């Protein structure tokens, strides 16, 4: 029996690799001689560095960079074969780096993400893969651009202050000192959303409140991003507002596209392409077990569980999802190739207990799945 394990992380509890290990343990309780292949996944957000670096046989490294509120933090990134870097913006500019009481997207900067890019270039990398989920920032990637030599200037010809608030003062963009290595570097960006930069579905209005912004601050940030889009169009001849994914990570998608020439791609599709997921399926699998913290109607839009199922459907491989919680509108996912969903909850249980016991609960749930699968096979 050949079984492919391909889960996402369970947020706040286990990484994708840890989830895969727990699933494998549950399988072996029932089918000890099964041929198991573990492939932890990411949709481009949390866990991208570990997922791709380990799968590609690379090395995980650390570098000290500027955190969103200007403190210093050690950020992990991956290097594969000396020429490819895997960067996760959340490592340098993520919401988890800022205590709840200190969150302020008007002032938070993506400068640290630019520093990570510069380090990768210093190491000789010619290919960058950047995941941009989980941001604390809403500066349109201005901080990232400044770290790479872009001058973001006010009417006095001075550099604007960090954060979205600085964009309100933006009067000109000077690209004359931008790092020349960027033009010789392939940059692929894994976006976990397709939002435009501004407007009702833009970065500020949809995601600003999650980062601590008030209603008034959301209005200010949306105007700030619109100002940046206007100056980019005037000074660089680029229309970034409606690029799919421009609003990802507080507008970092737009900034990477404009200032580094990066190609924005759906995160999971990019990850599966890099890992040549289709080749694993074509080799023949009897079962795929995937998983995530919660499955719901939103899982249709770029999440690991449904993305795996859609590809498996082309090869008639059954897919079972192990999840922490089954949310609303979940019925839609069955049409996408998921054959069954198993919650890890053994009975009435609090969210806190589920998170604390996630490992053992995932293993037990997998055992239940396997007993049914073997019985019905």
Output the pTM of the full model. 0.89
The predicted pLDDT at position 194 comes to 86
The predicted pLDDT at position 287 comes to 97
Question: Among all chains, which residue has been given the structure tokens 């979940």?
Answer: 330
For residue 192, pLDDT beyond 80: no
For residue 79, pLDDT beyond 80: yes
Tokens of 180: 């020349």
Question: Among all chains, which residue has been given the structure tokens 């991208």?
Answer: 48
Helices (H), 60-191: 89-93, 111-122, 142-147, 164-167
Tens digits of per-residue pLDDT, 161-186? 999 999 999 999 999 999 999 999 99
- CA–CA separation, 11 vs 46, rounded Å? 8
**Residue 269: enclosing H or E segment and its boundaries?**
helix 267-274
The predicted pLDDT at position 283 comes to 84
Ordered domains of the chain (ranges, CATH): 2-41+276-376 (3.40.50.10350), 48-268 (3.90.1510.10)
Confidence of residue 54 (pLDDT cuts 50, 70, 90): very high
188 φψ region: left (φ > 0), alpha (ψ -120 to 50), beta (else) = beta
The predicted pLDDT at position 12 comes to 79
For residue 88, pLDDT beyond 80: yes
Tens digits of per-residue pLDDT, 251-298? 999 999 999 999 999 999 999 999 999 999 988 899 999 999 999 888
Are 67 and 73 spatial neighbours (Cβ–Cβ below 8 Å)?
yes
For residue 210, pLDDT beyond 80: yes
Residues in the chain: 377
Question: Helix axis angle, 16-30 relative to 358-376, nearest 10°?
Answer: 40
Q: What is the four-CA torsion angle of 85, 87, 92, 96, rounded to 10 degrees?
A: -150
Tens digits of per-residue pLDDT, 9-19? 998 789 999 99
């Amino acid at each position: 029996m050949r079984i492919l394990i391909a889960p996402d992380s369970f947020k706040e509890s286990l990484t994708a690799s840890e989830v895969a290990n727990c699933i494998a343990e549950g399988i072996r309780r029932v089918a000890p001689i099964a041929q198991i292949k573990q492939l932890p996944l990411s949709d481009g957000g949390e866990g991208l560095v570990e997922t791709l670096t380990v799968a590609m046989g690379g090395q995980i490294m650390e570098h000290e960079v500027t955190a969103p509120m200007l403190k210093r933090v050690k950020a992990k990134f991956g290097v594969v074969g000396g020429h490819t870097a895997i960067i996760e913006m959340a490592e340098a500019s993520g919401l988890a780096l800022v205590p709840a009481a200190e969150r302020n997207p008007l002032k938070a900067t993506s400068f640290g993400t630019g520093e990570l890019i510069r380090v990768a270039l210093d190491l000789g990398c010619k290919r960058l893969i950047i995941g941009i989920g989980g941001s604390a920032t809403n500066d349109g990637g201005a901080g990232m651009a400044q770290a790479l030599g872009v001058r973001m200037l006010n009417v006095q010809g001075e550099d604007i202050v960090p954060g979205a608030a600085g964009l309100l003062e933006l009067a000109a963009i000077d690209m004359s000192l931008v790092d020349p290595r960027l033009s010789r570097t392939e940059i692929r960006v894994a976006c976990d959303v397709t939002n435009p930069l501004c407007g009702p579905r833009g970065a500020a209005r949809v995601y600003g409140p999650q980062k601590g912004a008030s209603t008034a601050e959301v209005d200010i940030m949306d105007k700030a991003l619109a100002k940046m889009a206007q100056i980019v169009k005037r000074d660089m001849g680029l229309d970034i507002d409606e690029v799919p994914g421009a609003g990802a990570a507080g507008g970092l998608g737009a900034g990477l596209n404009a200032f580094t020439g990066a190609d924005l791609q759906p995160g999971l599709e990019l990850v599966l392409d890099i890992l040549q997921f289709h080749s694993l399926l074509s080799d023949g699998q009897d079962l795929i077990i995937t998983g995530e913290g919660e499955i719901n109607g939103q899982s249709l839009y770029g999440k690991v569980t449904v993305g795996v199922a859609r590809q498996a459907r082309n090869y008639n491989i059954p897919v079972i999802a192990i999840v922490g919680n089954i949310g609303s509108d979940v019925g839609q996912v069955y049409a996408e190739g998921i054959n069954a969903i198993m919650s890890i909850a053994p009975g009435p249980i609090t969210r806190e207990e589920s998170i604390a016991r996630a490992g053992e609960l995932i293993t037990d749930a997998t055992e239940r799945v396997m007993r049914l699968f073997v019985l019905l096979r």
